[in-house]
Structure 1
Amino acid sequence: MKKLRFSILFIAAMFSMTSCVDDLNVTPEDDDTFLSEEFFASSPNSYKQALAGVYGNLSLTGATGSGSSNLQGIDAGTSQYGRCLWYLQDLTTDEVIWSYENDAGTRELQRNIWTADNPILLGMFSRTMLSVSFSNEYLRQTTDEKLQARGVTDTQLLADIATYRNEVRALRAYAYYVLMDLFGKAPMVTENDPINFRAPQAERQELFSFIETELNEVLPNLKPAHSNEYGRLDQAFAHMVLAKMYLNAEVYIGANRYNDCITECNAIIGANAYTLESNYLDNFNADNHTSSEMIFTLQSDGIVTQNYGATTVMVNGEVGSIEQNGASLGVSTGGWGGALRLRKQFVQKFDGGAFDFDTRKTIISGDRPIDITSIANQGQGFVITKFSNKTSAGVNGSNQTFVDTDFPLFRYADVLLMYAEATLRGGNGSATTALDYVNQLRERANGGTSGNISSGELTLDFLLDERARELHWEAHRRQDLIRFGKYTGGTYNWAWKGNSLNGVAIPSHLSVFPLPNQSIAANPNLIQNSGY
């Protein structure tokens, strides 16, 4: 059990969270308390409890256990934020494959044949818009006028609420960043709009500008990097979202913002608040909240926050059907019976003697064939053991199904790689520094300089592969492949891409996901993405 668990407050704050797929705005009813006038007036502690509820939407799906969902008509397993994000960013790429294709939505995603009726797309869109809705209602309930009417005069509480409001605005900006990246558009609604407002559609340019403005406005008033309590965001979080947005700006808005990406990376690096964890795998175990590398995580606790989120899925799914290696990962011996395996093209990123001692290579091959000719055959394809439900001291997590391992949404290693890439793409960074940052990661992976590269070896193609080696299964791969022009089309194919054993070209419109049909039906202002 983690000593500092901001997520413990999630439970109290989420008991009365309700929403509706129709509009995804928070509409308090007579028997509701969360984000209602009565809730905020009940206690000075309610402001922080409600804040925890806004954060909680990133980890939990409902208030009555792992199978509950506060989204009407949407299953908990297809609407948990981290799991949906991981499915869309990694399962649709060359990194991983899911054995059980009868699980709703997975077959279409991993074969790149999804439609606007895919339930996981609905879960992701709805869950992320719910973050927007919760954020908006929190901001409505914490205005100066509301606080004055409730007689809130305590100076410290007022200062805390001001900080909470800035964090909520940053969370809302992050939600819109995710929607912009995945769907290319979203309904734009803020706290200044009425509840149940049928919001107008915002395209990428408008979303980009909104996110950029919001984060830059709140950033000076957020807590300094690595100074907030664990589980809450700070200035480094805002810099990270901006850096990733600027790195991908040519995809989003057709603009070169690499200098700005480097500026944001430098702000995180220059804060001197983060260092590379000495042991790479300590970033992915049951006590990874202690890592010096974590900028922001999705919290997981096997007792307090039981859910079928990304890390529970990954650790249980890593257990090989042949190897039965769950005990070594801190879960049941059989895990989920070989649910997850590696596609051949990812495995080949670690080919060659240079990676024999690379700690990032946790691949198990055994007598397995590397090719997966039948997705249903769990004995085909290599498996991996990157994530674990054991602590750095080898102690099992608190539960052998629901893991204690937090999902590393933003990690310091990514900052170093973004700096290097933005520099190679023409940004005003230092080439010498870029090489040093990449070699820091390789030295950590190899326990010395044996894996270091020269300046001539530092190319964009190398960086794309290095990002896969360093950041695999951390929900970056789809975004990376799109930025490098290797996701759609046939420049780079992988096993089962385009529903073909050896991979085929896929059309360009698949670089964004379709808006869910149910969301369009609920809001006539939304127009489907081209090609769907």
Structure 2
Amino acid sequence: MKKKILLVLMTLTVVLTYSCKKLDVPVESQFVASNFPKTLSDYNASVGAIYSNLSSNFAVPYWRMQELATDEAILPARDGNFDDGGQYRQLHYHTWTSDHPNVTTIWQWAYSGIMTCNRLINITNSFGFTPADKTAKLAEIRGMRALYYFFLMDLYGNVPIITDYPVTGIPATQPRAKVFQFIESELLSIEQQLPAKTNVVASNVLQYGRPTKGMVFALLSKIYLNAAVYTNVPRYPDAVAMADSVMANTNYGLDARYRDIFLPNNGPQIRETIFAIPYDQQIPGNQFTRFGFFYYLVNAYGFNVGLSIAMSTTPEFYNRFNLPGDFRTTTWLSGPQFAPDGNGGFTTQPIYYPNTTTQVVINPVLTLVPPKPMDLGNTLASQSEGVRSIKYYPDPAIIQATRLNGNDVPVLRLADVMLMKAEAILRGAQPTVVNGEMQTPLLLVNRVRARSGAQLATSIDLNGMLDERARELSWEGWRRNDLIRFGQFEVEYPLPNDVLSMDKSTFRRLYPVPTTELKLNGSLIQNPGY
């Protein structure tokens, strides 16, 4: 099933490669009679470039910018190994520069997707579709372009808005509020032309990984919840209204098992997925097991291949997983390790370090060993430091050959929407009735908790809401966004023996415009502070 979806969504095409360089060079068109798509199959392959670009960098460099800059994920060195020029500690300590590799990669990745969308809009207008088909296809492309612009607005703030192809003039920096307005306008204008999630399996398979009404509503709820950050104008009632629009479709629902959302065979059958990025062993990018697992456990989990030993979470973040009965706690590997039961749980069979009778024990504490910065050393004990994640459950069949996960990565899902609504109400919006039910913040939070078997809350406030989002959405790429909205992005939790400290400057709530782009385009303006 996944491979069929990927063949539709992710077909790579040579004609749609893009470089953000030399935007001042006039280009009449990349498409001439010899390479213009002639058949529907040609056209679908061209559209696939939007999605193959999306998957290429979302689950590694984009994810790192959103997570390694927070307490949720950390990639420490081990006696110099995994330092990689200091790029991970620069994210951890908020000392990145405009030359940071992720800063450059993601800027170019997002604009690659945008320029592909702009070209495809031209193609679609000229292809000869019926009016109804052309309207639907243009809505899909514009929806993806809006998503790419959301990533840019959230990370960089003030960015050029480019909608024409070929590009006319030199794209200039636009204020973040104007980018917000553009995204909002685009999403509102295409919602009616997009399909809605149904109870028909075949329809949902075709929609999976593509823009839908649900994606539009969820993304609008996200930008409205963050509107005070993006534009200095709160929009909490609008965030609630958009969340209600998602929940009004009863074909969305919380899946009974939290684990199922992230398994290697996840896909269109997951009820709460609103928008996900499909992955399999043929599409590079999803490497959560490669970087975040613990290689002394590989045999017990059914595979034997070289993995990193570095990425984990911080003790401070892991301490939030403290609710009795909460299954989400088992998505982290901490303490004595036992063999998995094949169903997302564990047996009573201990896992031993190789060639010993000593049980593997993962220590949540990360104790640094100076003078090397953010370095744990490389003894067996230090290798075993740092809680590991198995939220994206290890996929032995795929990792054997490629070290890549086959798990699709959810970008927007129903539980997030429910928590966004709860937070917006706590921030001043009014509770509303959905499907005959008055939804208060406590009701919404407890519905999400109950699905994971966690002890129900008796009350909820904003501080508690941030912890709820941490437990439910860990490693899904939202922690930086959440901490900025809650005013806690600059909170530091020093590690034992730490010789470095975080730069607490608030200007780092935005990443810088990459140096390479500033050199190529004199109309770009660097973000303040850099």
TM interval, short-chain normalised: 0.7 to 0.9
Match of 1:217 among 189, 193, 206: 189
Number of the residue aligned with 1:385: 390
Q: Shift of the alpha carbon at 1:231?
A: 2.1
Q: 1:138 to 1:25 in 2, by over 3 A?
A: farther
Give SS of 1:98's match.
Answer: coil
Note the 1:58-457 alignment, pairs <5 A: 58-60=54-56, 80-99=57-76, 100-102=82-84, 105-143=87-125, 146-147=126-127, 152=128, 155=130, 158-191=131-164, 194-195=166-167, 197-225=169-197, 227=203, 229=206, 230-289=208-267, 290-302=269-281, 304-305=282-283, 307=284, 309=285, 311-312=286-287, 314-321=288-295, 324-327=296-299, 332-333=303-304, 335-351=306-322, 354-366=323-335, 367-374=361-368, 375-377=374-376, 378-390=383-395, 399=401, 401-430=403-432, 432-446=439-453, 451-454=455-458, 457=459
Number of the residue aligned with 1:46: 42
- Give the percent of matched residue pairs that are identical in Structure 1 and Structure 2: 30
- Quote the Cα distance in structure 1 between the aligned partners of 2:22 and 2:114: 11
Moved more, 279-288 or 220-229: 220-229
Q: Shift of the alpha carbon at 1:505?
A: 5.9
Number of the residue aligned with 1:531: 529
Give SS of 1:349's match.
Answer: coil
- Quote the Cα distance in structure 2 between the aligned partners of 1:452 and 1:37: 63
1:244–1:261 CA contact under 8 A, matched in 2: yes
Q: Shift of the alpha carbon at 1:14?
A: 2.5
Number of the residue aligned with 1:68: none
- Quote the Cα distance in structure 1 between the aligned partners of 2:24 and 2:32: 13
- Quote the Cα distance in structure 1 between the aligned partners of 2:110 and 2:424: 28
What's the CA shift string for 1:36-89, capped at 9, x where partnerless?
Answer: 6544442232222211112221013xxxxxxxxxxxxxxxxxxx2332221011
Q: Shift of the alpha carbon at 1:444?
A: 1.0
- Quote the Cα distance in structure 2 between the aligned partners of 1:96 and 1:252: 24
- Quote the Cα distance in structure 2 between the aligned partners of 1:295 and 1:259: 21
Give SS of 2:174's match.
Answer: strand
Number of the residue aligned with 1:474: 476
What's the CA shift string for 1:364-414, capped at 9, x where partnerless?
Answer: 222343321234433322222211244xxx977785522211111111110
Q: Shift of the alpha carbon at 1:235?
A: 0.7
2:9–2:51 CA contact under 8 A, matched in 1: no
Q: 1:412 to 1:28 in 2, by over 3 A?
A: farther
Number of the residue aligned with 2:504: 506
Q: 1:418 to 1:134 in 2, by over 3 A?
A: same
Q: Shift of the alpha carbon at 1:424?
A: 0.4
Output the aligned Cα RMSD: 2.7
**AA paired with 1:10?**
M
Q: Shift of the alpha carbon at 1:8?
A: 4.9
2:23–2:521 CA contact under 8 A, matched in 1: no
Number of the residue aligned with 2:13: 14
- Quote the Cα distance in structure 2 between the aligned partners of 1:427 and 1:399: 50
Q: 1:174 to 1:530 in 2, by over 3 A?
A: same
1:319–1:335 CA contact under 8 A, matched in 2: no
Runs of 4+ aligned structure 1 residues displaced above 4 Å come to: 23-30, 327-330, 394-400, 499-505
1:247–1:422 CA contact under 8 A, matched in 2: yes
Give SS of 1:185's match.
Answer: coil
Give SS of 2:443's match.
Answer: helix
What's the CA shift string for 1:227-265, capped at 9, x where partnerless?
Answer: 551221211111111110000000011111000000000
What's the CA shift string for 1:462-491, capped at 9, x where partnerless?
Answer: 010110000000000000000000002xxx
- Quote the Cα distance in structure 1 between the aligned partners of 2:6 and 2:308: 33
- Quote the Cα distance in structure 2 between the aligned partners of 1:319 and 1:469: 19
Q: 1:524 to 1:24 in 2, by over 3 A?
A: closer
Number of the residue aligned with 2:515: 517
1:364–1:383 CA contact under 8 A, matched in 2: yes
| Matched length | 477
- Quote the Cα distance in structure 2 between the aligned partners of 1:234 and 1:340: 34
Number of the residue aligned with 2:465: 463
Q: 1:209 to 1:467 in 2, by over 3 A?
A: same
**AA paired with 1:97?**
I
Q: Shift of the alpha carbon at 1:428?
A: 1.8
Gaps of at least 5 residues in structure 1 are: 61-79
- Quote the Cα distance in structure 2 between the aligned partners of 1:10 and 1:209: 29
2:143–2:216 CA contact under 8 A, matched in 1: yes
- Quote the Cα distance in structure 2 between the aligned partners of 1:355 and 1:23: 57
- Quote the Cα distance in structure 2 between the aligned partners of 1:102 and 1:282: 34
Q: 1:25 to 1:260 in 2, by over 3 A?
A: farther
Q: Shift of the alpha carbon at 1:182?
A: 0.5
2:292–2:309 CA contact under 8 A, matched in 1: yes
**AA paired with 2:265?**
D
Q: Shift of the alpha carbon at 1:94?
A: 0.3
Give SS of 2:250's match.
Answer: coil
- Quote the Cα distance in structure 2 between the aligned partners of 1:175 and 1:92: 20
Q: Shift of the alpha carbon at 1:108?
A: 1.4
1:259–1:429 CA contact under 8 A, matched in 2: no
- Quote the Cα distance in structure 2 between the aligned partners of 1:295 and 1:142: 25
Q: Shift of the alpha carbon at 1:196?
A: 6.3
**AA paired with 2:64?**
Y
What's the CA shift string for 1:304-355, capped at 9, x where partnerless?
Answer: 32x1x2x32x11222214xx2235556x43552312111111111023xx33
- Quote the Cα distance in structure 2 between the aligned partners of 1:231 and 1:16: 23
**AA paired with 1:317?**
F
Q: Name the TM-score, length of structure 2 as normaliser.
A: 0.83
2:328–2:452 CA contact under 8 A, matched in 1: yes
Q: Shift of the alpha carbon at 1:111?
A: 2.4
**AA paired with 1:90?**
E
